[in-house]
Amino acid sequence: MRELGAVELQALAVARLQGTHCPAGTRYSVAHALLAALPHEAAVTTNSDLCYDEACGAAGVSVNLLPYSTRFTQRWLLKLHGDVNHPEDVVLAYTSDAPYGTGKEALAGIVQAMLITKHSMPKPNPNPNPNPNPNPDH
């Protein structure tokens, strides 16, 4: 077994995420569909997959994907960790050399403004760890 470099790992992760959706847009969860159906003008995610995008499309809602598109739409979506359709931007991990937000200060500003001026609703983890204690003996 050989060790993957950062570029190879990123390419592998993007390929895996791109393979999780199908052209018919049927690979998003009920949670994505419910969020897409709620009336709102903006969303922020750290996910780089296409689940929410496809759920919005199925709900008939056009989405402007920031920072890649600046066209006027019903809703905009900011993907903080990149988008699988822009694999060069997908973030898998941060290092001390390239901390979060490096080169994306304006996008971080959008998130900060939303936290101060809007209501937030985190999407719950569908697979919570039933045993959060890593040491089962304690």
Does residue 15 belong to any structural domain of this protein? Answer: no
pLDDT digits (tens, 9 = 90+) for 69-82: 878 888 999 988 88
Does residue 68 belong to any structural domain of this protein? Answer: yes
Residue 64, Cβ density class (10 Å: 0-12 exposed, 13-18 middle, ≥19 buried): middle
Q: What is the SS3 string spanning the chain? A: CCCCCHHHHHHHHHHHHHCCCCCCCCCCCHHHHHHHHCCCCEEEECCCCCHHHHHHHHCCCCEEEECCCCCCCCEEEEECCCECCEHHHCCCCCCCCCCCCCCCHHHHHHHHHHHHHCCCCCCCCCCCCCCCCCCCCC
Residue with more model confidence, 30 or 135? 30
Does residue 91 belong to any structural domain of this protein? Answer: yes
Count the domains in the chain. 1
The predicted pLDDT at position 67 comes to 84
And the tokens for 48?
């780089």
- Is the pLDDT at 35 greater than 80? The verdict is yes
Q: How far apart are CA 45 and CA 51, in angstroms?
A: 11
Does residue 11 belong to any structural domain of this protein? Answer: no
Does residue 97 belong to any structural domain of this protein? Answer: yes
Mean pLDDT to the nearest integer, 90-103: 67
Does residue 133 belong to any structural domain of this protein? Answer: no
Does residue 3 belong to any structural domain of this protein? Answer: no
Does residue 5 belong to any structural domain of this protein? Answer: no
> Which residues constitute the domain of residue 64?
26-117
